[in-house]
Every structure is written in structure tokens, then in C-alpha cells.
Amino acid sequence: MKLDRLEKLQREIATIFVERFDTRIASHDVDLLETGLVDSVKIVELVLELEQRFGVSLPFEELEIEDFRTVPRLAERIARTTPAVG
Amino acid sequence: MKLLQHYVSAQASLRPQASAIAWKGEKLSYGALDQRTNRVARLLAGLGAERGDRIALLLPKSPLAITAMVGTLKADCAYTPVDLKNPAPRVEQILAALESRVLLACREAAPLVEQLVRENGLGPLRVAWLDGEAPAGLPSHAALADLETCSADSVPSANGDADVAHILFTSGSTGVPKGVMITHANVIAFVEWAKQHFDIQPTDRCSGHSPLHFDLSTFDTYGSFAAGAELHPVPVELNLLPHKLAQFMRDAALTQWFSVPSALNHMAKADVIKEHDFPSLRRLLWCGEAWHAAGLAHWMRRLPHVRFTNLYGPTEATIASSWYDVPGIPEDETKPVPIGRACAGEDLLVLDEALRPAAPGETGDLYIRGVGLSPGYWRDAAKTDAAFVANPFSADGEDRIYRTGDLARVCENGEIVLVGRADTQIKSRGYRIELGEIEAVLHTIGTLEESAVVAVESAAIDGLAIACGYAPRAGVVLEPADLRTLLAARLPAYMLPSRWRRFDRLPLNANGKVDRKALKEIFAASPEK
């Protein structure tokens, strides 16, 4: 159950990157920070988008830089925030 | 001071125990820095580096990278810090241009070195791994153990202050980055002016916010060493989260902050600066692009105890050539903040097309003259001659002025205000980008019929957003995300367009060329995502 949910989150995050930033993320291992796929401008848009799409609250001061390292890390961070529904 | 490394050795003999660099909870003293840099110089000589050689540094921002910089100078060589985030082909262009004999690297650079080896080999380039053993399977001619066996005694130098200390690469409009040669004298002139102007003291704690491959970092490093102050390199990833950046400033109790305005705006927008925050901070300097008066006013209201100074100047004129101490919180937030007056030993000239002084208040081309002027671009006489021209007001043939490409006007009080650009170079989040370099890479993509890049205003970022219009060849399916992937293999992330639009045909002007003005209007009229 839990794995399914994480996978779903990962897929949706990848979709956000394509739709919002015209960026395809080649694999789950891609380091979003080292490659500049997430930078200081995109992180603001990304957090807003994640909040809207997943109906969660992600206050900046509660976020850690490592939360943004990879797509799976980001999915885990959101999973921790949202109550698992369905 | 004659040479930049003397700043370190002078502090090492006066105050060897004083801290030179603070990094992630550890401190490196001037004495230790002096000894380690002596070792690096000997290691380089042992690897065959000779006076005047260019040494590429594949090292992320760290005390190790700064040690490699100063050690290279002690070997009478010039260094080029290379951004590890650059795609391998761009690094290859830089290495090829430098014709280096030696590369200094560390484990973090291993993936990049591996890619360089896989694609074209490293040729005669010798690699020294400064932080441990060589990563398995990669070329290695020296490692940390060899460095540690080198003598730490002082190293004699043959260089003079007109010799090149470093070569910094900036975006080039023809698709190849250009290397700006900066001499010891160039840097020392600015550092000595700044040390006096800002009264930098051994008790100061200075930020090292800019990446080491950027010209601004030169002041962070050598300005701090010149005063015997403590340099606090700012870990790059902190830029992502403004509250982390503010916390770093607080924890380090910085007394001097120097960065591009976008980092400051990022913190202002997130509202992470409290009233009277950073009580130790004495001065805040910015450079690299214009800072909107509204952002400046926000900071000034929060930090009434801090002195705010705008510095201006392109890499070609070394760090900065003019200064403006902001006298008070800007009343009219729509007015540009002046770039002010020339630093000691420099002149700012606003000239018309015939190189005559523009009338006060009239817009003209901004030229810089004086002690900061680079000898020119590395092995590119044509570009050097085009940008650095003889001073029309001097009989001395050696007296040159540098055409910045910025448009400016002189105010009645003699202060200078920037108006815009005379070409397609843009500033985006402090990065200096030639749109032509992006277009040159687009033109190598075979599946495109037409493409063009324009800069458009953006609400989300400081400076301008890069927008790309393209038309694929007939029958080719090429989504923006596909094109972005192709460009990302050749260009650093900050040069990648953030806005895209696919056309059947790009708009053309009466001459049959791509109509960039129309393209710009199309982007301006359509909403950002």
C-alpha cells in the first residue's frame, strides 16, 4: 500500500517538472540540486505547486535542503505531510 | 604587496594562529594555509608545471579550493576555477583553451573527469587528486599522500605583478566561453582600495557567497586575506532556502556580506530578515546587476545599523570599478540606484558613438579606464582589440579603455546611472549570459529548422528570463522538454531557457530574418506558467 502511494507521488512530481519546467528527469537517481534542475527560483514555484496539487502545507522554514535532492526524497517528504487517503 | 599570495604569507608571519577560513565548523589558520599552499606549489612543480602555466581547478567551493588557488599562484602559475556543474563538453572547451599541463581535482569531480576521459581522453593532462587517493579507474599522477610529502617551507617566486593570476571564463556570444586574464596588480589595486574604503579589519568575518569561478569571489578571498580577516565561504546549497541563508549569516556573525542582489531579494521575499537582524553585520555590498530600490529599501529598513554599498564593474575591469554608498533609505522606489563614482585609479567614461563625452544626462556607452583593466581575453586578440580600445583622450598608446556594453548617463552631481545594454548580453539572477552563446548551441541541433533566444521581463526572477522560440524540421516531434535535455548536455543550468514556444515558422522581419522584437512581444503577451 505505502509503496504504491510513494510511486504515485514520484510519478506526479515528475509530471510537475515536465508541465511546469519543461524538464524531463531521466531517473530517480538524478541529483536535482547538483544538476540545477531545482534552483532558488524554481524551488519557490515547486513548493507552491506541490502544496496545491497534494493539498499539503510546506512552510519554508520546515523544509530541509536534502528534501529536494531527488524525486524519491521529495515524495517521501510529501508523504510524511499528507494523511494517507485511499 | 606585490603578489596576491603575499597577503597570506604576510598574515602567516604576523599572526600564524589567526583563523583565515571558517568552514562547516572547522577553522584553517593563516599559518596552516601558508604551509599547505607551499606544498601545493611544490606538488605542481613536481608534476611539471612551469611559470606561466594555466592550472584548471576541478574543486567545489571549499578551503581546499582556496588552498589550490593560492598554491597555484605560489608556483608562478595562473588558475581557472571550473564550475563542476558545467556539462563536460563546456569543461572540455575551457581545458582545451587553457592548454593546461596539470589539473587539480578532488573526489567530487570524479564523475566529470570520468566523462571527460570517456569522451575524448585527457591527452597529456596530468591529474592530481588533492583530497585522498585517486578514484578507481581514473588517471592519476599524484594524490593527497604525495602532497603531504612536499616541503611546507616558503617558495620563492619569479612572477611580477603584471603576470596573470587567474583566467575567468564568461559567456561568449559565438558559442565558446571567453577567458578573461586578470593580473596580480589588477586584483591588488581593487583590494587595497576596498580595504581602505570599507576599513576592513582583522576582526572582520567576511562572506564568500559568490562561486569561485566568478570574479566577485576574488574580492571575498583576497580582500579578507589582505586584512587578516576570517573568510566564511557560503555553502552553495544554502541559496535554495532563504531561511537557511539568513541562519548562516546569523550563526557566523558575519560583519561583511557581498553578493549579487538576487540572493538578497530571495531573503527579502521570504521575509526571513528580522528587525535589527545580524547585529554584527557592518556592511552589505552588492554587485553583478542592478538591485531594485524596493528590495534595497526593505533591507535598509530592517537593518538600520548596516552600511549599504553598490559596486559595479564587469570581470574585464576586475571585481568592481565604481561604488555608491547609499546615503539613506531610497524615497522613490521606482528610481534606479546609481552605480556612483570610480574607485581609486579608475575612470568611468560615458561616450557617444564618436568616442566624445556624452552631454550630462544624455545616454552613452560606458567605458572603463585604469588599474583594473584586464590585459584582454586569453589567446583571442580579435575579441581583445574589439573591446579594449586606445584611450582617445591620451597620447599614450598603452592607455586603453574597455567598452562595457552597458549604456549609462552622468547625473548633474557626477554620479553615473546605468540605463541598459547596447547588445544582447543579459543578467539573469546575477549570471552574465550572452544570448548568442545559447543560440550557437541551438544551431548545432539538427532537428531544428529555426530557433532564436530572447530575454523577457519576469515576475518570478531577478533580471530577465530566457525565452526560446523554435521550429522543428518537418515531421519532427520535439517537445520543449526534449529540446531542454539537448541543451542541458552543452550549457550550464543557469543558461537554459525557462520559457519555450514551438512554432511552425518563427516570425520574420522584412529582411527575412527572425524578428526578435516580435518574438519578444509574443512571449510578453503570453502568461508565464
Query: What is residue B490's DSSP assignment?
Result: T
* Residue B198, helix vs strand vs coil: coil
Q: Nearest CA of chain B to the CA of A2: how many Å?
A: 29
Question: For the segment B373-397, what is each residue's pLDDT rounded down to a tens digit?
Answer: 999 999 999 999 999 999 999 999 8
Does the structure show a pLDDT above 80 at B16? yes
On whether the CB atoms of residues B234 and B248 are closer than 8 A, the answer is yes
Which residues of chain B neighbour A29 with C-beta distances below 8 Å?
none
The class level of CATH for B425-525 reads alpha beta
Outline where B136-271 has alpha helix (H): 144-149, 184-197, 216-227, 242-251, 261-269
State whether A36 and B241 contact (CB < 8 Å).
no
Instruction: Name residue, grid cell 511546469.
Output: A20
A29 touches chain B (CB under 8 A): no
Average pLDDT over residues B227-244: 95
State whether B493 and A37 contact (CB < 8 Å).
yes
* Residue B426, helix vs strand vs coil: strand
Which residues of chain A neighbour B237 with C-beta distances below 8 Å?
33, 65
Query: What is residue A62's DSSP assignment?
Result: G
On whether the CB atoms of residues B466 and B433 are closer than 8 A, the answer is yes
What count of other Cβ atoms lies within 10 Å of the Cβ of residue B480?
Answer: 19
The grid coordinates listed for A22 are 519543461
In chain B, how long is the greatest CA-to-CA distance? 71
Does the structure show a pLDDT above 90 at B309? yes
Query: What is residue B486's DSSP assignment?
Result: H
Give chain A's domains with CATH numbers.
Answer: 2-81 (1.10.1200.10)
Query: What is residue B152's DSSP assignment?
Result: -
State whether A40 and B239 contact (CB < 8 Å).
yes
In 3D, which of B404, B408, B418, B423 has the Cα closest to residue B516? B423
The pLDDT assigned to B439 comes to 94
Query: What is residue B473's DSSP assignment?
Result: P
On whether the CB atoms of residues B429 and B262 are closer than 8 A, the answer is yes
The grid coordinates listed for B245 are 541563508
Numbered residues of chain B with Cβ closer than 8 Å to any chain A Cβ:
85, 237-244, 262-263, 266, 269-270, 272, 429, 460-461, 479-482, 484-485, 488, 492-494, 496, 498, 500, 529
The grid coordinates listed for B377 are 581575453
pLDDT more than 90, % of chain B: 91
The pLDDT assigned to A50 comes to 93
The pLDDT assigned to B461 comes to 65
Residue ranges per domain, chain B? 5-233, 340-421, 425-525
Q: What is the pTM assigned to this prediction? A: 0.94
Q: Which of B67-71, B286-290, B477-481 has the highest mean pLDDT?
A: B67-71
State whether A36 and B494 contact (CB < 8 Å).
yes
Q: Which segments of B288-363 are extended strands (E)?
A: 307-312, 322-325, 341-342, 346-351
The grid coordinates listed for B260 are 549579487
The pLDDT assigned to A82 comes to 62
Q: Which residue of B has its CA nearest to A40?
A: B240
In whole angstroms, give the CA distance from residue B97 to residue B177. Answer: 9
What count of other Cβ atoms lies within 10 Å of the Cβ of residue B155?
Answer: 22
In whole angstroms, give the CA distance from residue B455 to residue B425. Answer: 9
In whole angstroms, give the CA distance from residue B414 to residue B303. Answer: 28
In whole angstroms, give the CA distance from residue B129 to residue B365. Answer: 46
The class level of CATH for B5-233 reads alpha beta
Of the partner residues A39, A64, A68, the one whose CB lies closest to the CB of residue B493 = A39
On whether the CB atoms of residues B179 and B377 are closer than 8 A, the answer is yes
What count of other Cβ atoms lies within 10 Å of the Cβ of residue B382?
Answer: 8
Residue A83 pLDDT level (bands cut at 50, 70, 90): low
Distances (CA, A) of B296 to B240, B265, B311: 20, 8, 14
Does the structure show a pLDDT above 90 at B93? yes
What count of other Cβ atoms lies within 10 Å of the Cβ of residue B504?
Answer: 9
Burial class (CB in 10 A: 0-12, 13-18, 19+), B278: buried
Which residues of chain A neighbour B262 with C-beta distances below 8 Å?
40
In 3D, which of B296, B306, B293 has the Cα closest to residue B267? B296
Q: Nearest CA of chain B to the CA of A53: how many Å?
A: 15
A48 touches chain B (CB under 8 A): no
State whether A35 and B270 contact (CB < 8 Å).
no
A34 touches chain B (CB under 8 A): yes
For all residues of chain B together, what is the average pLDDT?
A: 95
In whole angstroms, give the CA distance from residue B473 to residue B446. Answer: 8
The pLDDT assigned to B419 comes to 94
The pLDDT assigned to A86 comes to 39
Does the structure show a pLDDT above 90 at B226? yes
- Which of the residues A16, A17, A19, A22 would you substitute to probe the B interface, choosing the one with the greatest number of B C-beta atoms within 10 Å? A22
Average pLDDT over residues B121-147: 95
Question: For the segment B257-281, what is each residue's pLDDT rounded down to a tens digit?
Answer: 999 999 999 899 889 999 999 999 9
- Domain spanning B340-421: which superfamily? Luciferase; Domain 3 (2.30.38.10)
State whether A61 and B243 contact (CB < 8 Å).
yes
Query: What is residue B50's DSSP assignment?
Result: -
In chain A, how long is the greatest CA-to-CA distance? 35
Query: What is residue B234's DSSP assignment?
Result: P
In whole angstroms, give the CA distance from residue B401 to residue B287. Answer: 21
B510 residue type, one letter: A
State whether B500 and A43 contact (CB < 8 Å).
no
Q: Nearest CA of chain A to the CA of B114: how many Å?
A: 16
Q: What is the dihedral of CA B81, B430, B260, B65, to 10 degrees?
A: -10
Outline where B213-351 has alpha helix (H): 216-227, 242-251, 261-269, 293-302
* Residue B88, helix vs strand vs coil: helix
Give the least confident one: A18-27, B126-135, B373-382, B402-411.
A18-27
Q: Is B430 left (phi over 0), alpha (psi -120 to 50) or beta?
A: left
Cα four-point dihedral sign B385, B390, B391, B393: negative
Q: Which residue of B has its CA nearest to A31?
A: B85
* pLDDT top residue among B297 and A45: B297
Question: b/e string for B199-229 if b means 16 or more Cβ within 10 A?
Answer: ebeeebbbbbbbbbbbbbbbbbbbbbbbbbb
State whether A35 and B85 contact (CB < 8 Å).
yes
State whether A39 and B270 contact (CB < 8 Å).
no
Question: For the segment B341-356, what is each residue's pLDDT rounded down to a tens digit?
Answer: 999 999 999 999 999 9
Bridge-based pairing state of the strands B102-105 and B126-129: parallel
On whether the CB atoms of residues B91 and B125 are closer than 8 A, the answer is no
Question: For the segment B161-212, what is each residue's pLDDT rounded down to a tens digit?
Answer: 999 999 999 998 888 899 999 999 999 999 999 999 999 999 999 999 999 9
Radius of gyration of chain B (CA): 23
Question: For the segment A14-59, what is each residue's pLDDT rounded down to a tens digit?
Answer: 999 999 999 999 899 999 998 888 988 889 889 999 999 998 999 8
